[in-house]
Amino acid sequence: MGWLNSDITAVGRRMYSNKAGEATADKLSVLGAAYPTDGWTNTTPVILQKTGRGLLHQPSHPLAILKELIFQQFPDFAYYDSLNPVVTTQQNFDSLGFSEDHPGRAKSDTYYINGDTLLRTHTSAHQLQLLKAGSSGDNVLLAQARNGHVAPANERFLVAADVYRRDEIDASHYPVFHQMEGVCTFARSEVNEQLRQTGKTGQTVEFSDSNPLQIEHTAAEASYLVEDMKRTMNNMVAAILARADGGQDGFPVRWIDASFPFTSPSWEMEVLFRGEWLEICGCGITRQSMMRNAGVPQRIGWAFGFGLERLAMLLFGVPDIRLFWSHDPRFAAQFSPGNISTFKPFSRHPPCTKDVSFWVSHAAPFHENDLMDLLRVTAGDLIEGTQLIDSFTHPASGRTSHCYRITYCSMDRNVTNEEINAIQDQVRAAMVAQLGVTLR
Ligand code: DAH
């Protein structure tokens, strides 16, 4: 959850002032709808293009295959996989109890359309809206569920979707990825009736001061929810891992205490898979304030959210996250719906590296994510990765210098040195113009 820890920087961004001319336009168009821009706008055209790719709707795409396998594990949940990525700051942050100064809101980490609107940074953005749609009978929203009749009042639902975060570039980070959200609620009276019948009227789960149960829940209620959540998630992961090539039946799981604004207690679930602890998801007991805000104060529940890419990379043996976005038919042709098969690498096109060294200006603080977006705008998916290879501060002048090594490589074709030199020249010019740095 990288963005839970990053710094707030309120530097004026000009990232969207690129060759597509969006800087002068006072509107940004996303999936056919126009939105006014303002000083918060930092979504680049390269990112906007991704909103239309629909990887989760290509039946033979590994991410879509994984999505369907997970949906199948939850036969009595409603499924959503077509919700618009443009959400309000209210949905993405406020509705979930994110504080005003939460680092996740920083412009350096989030793609804003304008001050009120952004590209969702997580599928949790839809939790309150969907719970509310169930309680108020919002048929327009309920009808967007693929199988809404199964769990009519959105008492249980899954949301699979593309999410957007400004981030570094490397083999496992991409500014767009996919998450699966799960929300499961119960009538409080029924839970208590069941607890009475089974004689489980006490606490059966450990809580700690740093990861407490909510004062609004009894220890027995919270224990019930935690046990149900962990059992459900264990079963889901077991079913998926068992389908992988050489799939394992039993697997060790560990639950790491975590903290999210909208759950308490909270955990991260990790699974030992092929010798590596893999962080599967964040999860926890939904804050009762959210249930009240959703118009279902008489219900209690749990939720999880996990990233599909890391699991898909492991299950399908995909070595680089950019391959999911490749247009190369040699990628797509390898997979088929319902099957987890191992990716057979096709020849990698040769990479080309270029270094750029520069002085940071005192007047314009340098933020690495700005460089990453600049690179994406200028070179798109030709950027394979970046590495900070040198940094120092001059003892006399106090000025700081950085040197980045940029690796260019195409997933689809050979690139020539001349082509990369031309792009590198554009990158250097854009760095001066947009980041205010002095090249060395
Ligand atoms: N939205 C969180 C993230 O992207 C993940 C998450 C944590 C989702 C806990 C949940 C949850 O539903 O209960 O970092």
> What is the pLDDT averaged over residues 21-35?
77
Q: How confident is the model at residue 249 (pLDDT cuts 50, 70, 90)?
A: low
pLDDT at 95 over 90: yes
Ligand 1 contact, 267 CB (< 6 A): no
Q: Which residues contact 381 (CB under 8 A, 6 or more apart)?
A: 322, 325, 410, 411
Q: In angstroms, what is the span from residue 183 Cα to ligand 1's centroid?
A: 10
Ligand 1 contact, 263 CB (< 6 A): yes
Burial 178-193 (b: 16+ CB within 10 A, else e): bbbbbbbbbebeebbe
Q: How far apart are CA 28 and CA 48, in angstroms?
A: 9
pLDDT at 7 over 60: no
> What is the pLDDT averaged over residues 212-224?
96
Q: How far apart are CA 58 and CA 332, in angstroms?
A: 9
The pick from 93, 110, 124 for probing ligand 1's pocket by mutation, whose C-beta has the most ligand atoms within 8 angstroms, reads 124
Mean of the per-residue pLDDT values of the chain? 89
Q: How far apart are CA 186 and CA 299, in angstroms?
A: 5
Q: How confident is the model at residue 25 (pLDDT cuts 50, 70, 90)?
A: low
pLDDT at 178 over 50: yes
> What is the pLDDT averaged over residues 289-304?
98
Please give the pLDDT value at position 6.
28
pLDDT at 15 over 70: no
Nearest to 256 by CA among 289, 208, 303, 219: 208
Q: In angstroms, what is the span from residue 420 Cα to ligand 1's centroid?
A: 39
Closest ligand 1 atom to Cα of 96: 1
pLDDT at 333 over 60: yes
Query: pLDDT over 70 for what percent of the chain?
Result: 92
Among protein residues, the one whose CA lies closest to atom 14 of ligand 1:
1
Ligand 1 contact, 283 CB (< 6 A): yes
Closest ligand 1 atom to Cα of 282: 7
Please give the pLDDT value at position 11.
26
Q: How far apart are CA 92 and CA 98, in angstroms?
A: 9
> What is the pLDDT averaged over residues 88-115?
96
> What is the pLDDT averaged over residues 118-141?
95
Closest ligand 1 atom to Cα of 305: 8
Please give the pLDDT value at position 247.
59
Q: How confident is the model at residue 284 (pLDDT cuts 50, 70, 90)?
A: very high
Q: pLDDT tens digits, residue range 352-378?
A: 999 999 999 877 788 888 999 999 888
Among protein residues, the one whose CA lies closest to atom 4 of ligand 1:
122
Please give the pLDDT value at position 248.
61
The pick from 304, 306, 308, 310 for probing ligand 1's pocket by mutation, whose C-beta has the most ligand atoms within 8 angstroms, reads 304
Please give the pLDDT value at position 272.
85
Ligand 1 contact, 284 CB (< 6 A): yes
pLDDT at 267 over 50: yes
Supply the pTM of this predicted model: 0.84
Please give the pLDDT value at position 13.
30
Among protein residues, the one whose CA lies closest to atom 9 of ligand 1:
283
Q: pLDDT tens digits, residue range 397-413?
A: 888 999 999 999 887 78
pLDDT at 103 over 50: yes
Ligand 1 contact, 124 CB (< 6 A): yes
Q: In angstroms, what is the span from residue 148 Cα to ligand 1's centroid?
A: 23
> What is the pLDDT averaged over residues 325-350?
88
